[in-house]
Structure 1
Amino acid sequence: MKLVGAVITVSFLPLAALAGPIQSACLKSDRQAASRSLCTCIQQAADMTLTGSDQRRAAKFFRDPDEAQDVRMSKSDNDNAFWARYRSFGDMAEAYCAG
């Protein structure tokens, strides 16, 4: 019985509350091509390729593209490993979400 109540409660939550970090950042961006369906697709690609922590870090790139450049140019092993995962995400999103 409690499960039914939880399902009903969840159905009334705003969609943004259920969005992942990439989808939220995409929807908030000023990019003209950012639509709900495209941002949802990109989030799905992120869910397949990035951890939650990686998604939160990558979401910041929507607000500050210079941060992406800083990570890409970094000499840090952690940044390089993240960038490799981020590129895999980008390749997946491009293939998965291309119209």
Structure 2
Amino acid sequence: MKQFLLIAFCAASVTAVAHTVDAAQIKRACLASDREAATRARCTCIQRVADQALTRGDQKTVAKWFEDPHQAQELKMSQTARDDALWDRYQNFGLMAQAICS
């Protein structure tokens, strides 16, 4: 699960789009993680993918999962349509990040 989260977070970097000050949340969370694979290049790549696959709100939520992966598990187990939709977007993001940033 942690490796999937790292890949997903790193994928958030694939698109260089000008955002507001709160941009690059995934990249910052990725770089702050203690994972060996969290290089600047990979975290930047992951941020670009996140910019393509996730809304800013999604990114804010997902960035929190770096510090507390249990929050991701709670969302995954949730039964609400909103949480299911976010989980689907997150899974898509993870697959894209893995394909592009590996």
Q: Scaled by the length of structure 2, what TM-score is found? A: 0.77
What letter is aligned with 1:37? A
Name the larger-Rg structure.
1
Q: Which of 24, 27, 44 is the aligned partner of 2:28? A: 24
Q: Greater relative contact order (Cα 8 A, min sep 6): structure 1 or 2? A: 2
Matches within 5 A, 1:10-49: 20-49=24-53
% same residue: 51
- Taking only aligned residues, the RMSD between alpha carbons, in angstroms, comes to 1.4
- C-alpha deviation, 1:76, in angstroms: 1.1
Offset from partner CA, 1:70-91 (integer Å, 9 cap, x none): 0011101110000000001001
Q: How many residues align?
A: 82
Which SS does the other structure have where 1:37 is aligned?
helix
Q: Give unpaired runs (5+ residues) of structure 1.
A: 1-16
Structure 2 equivalent of residue 5 of structure 1: none
What letter is aligned with 1:70? E
Runs of 4+ in 1 over 3 A off after TM superposition: none
1:94 aligns with 2:73: no
Aligned pair in 2 of structure 1 residues 37, 22: CA closer, same or farther (>3 Å)? same
What letter is aligned with 2:91? R
Greater helix fraction, Structure 1 or Structure 2: 1
Q: Give unpaired runs (5+ residues) of structure 2.
A: 1-20
Structure 2 equivalent of residue 56 of structure 1: 60
